[in-house]
Amino acid sequence: MRTVIFDLDGTLADTSRDLINAANHCFRGLGLGDVLTHPADAPTAMRGGRAMLTLGFGRTGSHGEDEIDRQYPILLEAYGRDLSRHTTLFPGTMAAVGALRGDGFAVGICTNKPEGLAERLMRDLGVRDAFGSLVGADTLPVRKPDPAPFVEAVRRAGGNPTRALLVGDTVTDRETARAAGVPSVLVTFGPLGRAVEDLAPEALIDDFAELPAVAARLLS
């Protein structure tokens, strides 16, 4: 079965404000105030908690690598307490998923967000049941850009890894698809905008309405 696997943060949903709020919780606890701002730091938020902590401590010049390790679990705990307050699906997300399923595609999710948090977020958004799989950062011993989580997401969705593609928004998604030997489709409506064109994916989409036709062409 042909399969479309989606990244989550910055692809299916704009999670950046809730992620930045969680990072700022850490900085406030250290007496640094709100170091990150939204939407300016949204691209860093899409790279995960450690990236946000690295950026923030780089700005303040006050803490080293050891503090990132100490603060990361605190960030995850803060995020888990309030992970969907400001998060919204990008326009047309579920219409595209429905169209893909109607055309006989399997659909799933492969994210570098911890699996438990990803499951909770998708259920908070009311759309988890539309996806045949969800593989997170800690589902396997490795995470993207290693291809194994992508392959596992395809397998759990009931698909064939040789007839699949990955929809994402960052270089991590591009590298994952390349490592798996499958096409990548990068969205231009995520935090990086049209800068993803420089990553030379097999396709770009400006709107989710374009995805069903693009997937059909790439997996013909």
Catalytic positions, please?
7
209 contacts 95 by C-beta, under 8 angstroms: yes
Report in angstroms the alpha-carbon separations of 127 from 21, 93, 100.
23, 10, 15
Edge-to-edge, what's the strand order for the sheet holding 3-6? Answer: 134-135, 106-110, 3-6, 164-168, 184-187, 203-205
Q: Which residues pair with 109 in a beta bridge?
A: 6, 134
74 contacts 26 by C-beta, under 8 angstroms: yes
Report DSSP letters for 79-147, one per residue: HHHSSSSS-EEPTTHHHHHHHHHHTT-EEEEE-SS-HHHHHHHHHHTT-GGG-S-EE-TTTSS--TTSS
